[in-house]
Each structure stands twice: as C-alpha cells, then as structure tokens.
Amino acid sequence: MFPGNNKTASGKPCGLFRRLLIMLYDAIVVIALLMLATAVAMLAGMGNQTALHDPAYTAVLALIWFFYLVWCWHKGGMTLGMRAWRVCITDERGGLPGWKHCAVRFLVSILSAALAGLGFAWSLIDQKDRTWHDMASGTSLLRC
C-alpha cells in the first residue's frame, strides 16, 4: 500500500501499450509545465531564450521535466498519467522508490527512448515485461 493514495499494486506488470499511453498523458502535463516556465521567463525579460540553443534555459526546462516525474514517483508512487491508467511504481521491496532509484530511472529512460525506443521495446521480450530503465533503477511499473 502506498502512503496517501490508498492504492495497492496487484503484482501484474504494466505492458508496453499502457506505458505508451501513460507517457502520452504525462507529456501533456510536462508540456504545460514547460509552457508555464517559458511564460515566467518571458515575463522576467528573458524572452529571447530558445530551448536547445541556450544551455541554461534548456537545463531549466530539463530540470522541470525531471522534477515532475521524480517527485511524483518518489512521493506518491504515480504521475497523473499513471493515475489515469491505474499503474503504480514500486522498488524491489514493493515500496515507493527512493530519490536515487527515480533519478536513475529518469536518466536511463531517456537513453531507452533515444536509441529508437529499444529500451522500451525490450519489455516485449523480457519475461517480467521490464524495460531497460526498470532494470537499471530496480523499479517496476505494476497495475494497481
């Protein structure tokens, strides 16, 4: 059981299709947060900043993305997309993952996606439906 959300994980792994739907939902939230950060930057007189061209601005946007996911995983065991699709994240003991696990998960998930999605596709051949970032971080996405 996860503190604060009264959810229990069923132990059934989350499949690739559900993971992709979760990513779609969470992308909407992340884009909204990045748009808000951009609006704040513009109001602060930094309207000439361009993501991927200005390293500091790009780093701020990446940190917002990072902290949204890591905070949700660590504090509540699920992002908004995960809530919608009834999926919980757990560590190897069945509890909420620590900060380090979440950070590793985030970083390796970028690699999983950047290599033509191979890290995600790995779940199709893994007996436990694990992705590269599941294995690297010692976390699992389970239906709850």
**Which of the four pLDDT bands, split at 50, 70 and 90, describes residue 48?**
confident
Model pLDDT for residues 50-96, shown as the tens digit of each residue: 788 889 889 999 999 999 999 999 999 999 999 999 999 999 999 99
CA atoms within 13 Å, Cβ hemisphere of 107: 8
CB-CB neighbours of 114 under 10 Å:
10
pLDDT digits (tens, 9 = 90+) for 104-144: 999 999 999 999 999 999 999 999 999 999 999 999 999 99
Q: Cα separation of 49 and 127, whole Å? A: 45
Instruction: Give residue 83's pLDDT.
Output: 97
Residue 28 has pLDDT above 90, yes or no: yes
Q: How far apart are CA 24 and CA 115, in angstroms?
A: 19
Q: What was the pLDDT predicted at 10?
A: 64
Radius of gyration of the chain (CA): 16
Domain ranges of the chain: 16-143
The overall pTM is greater than 0.75: yes
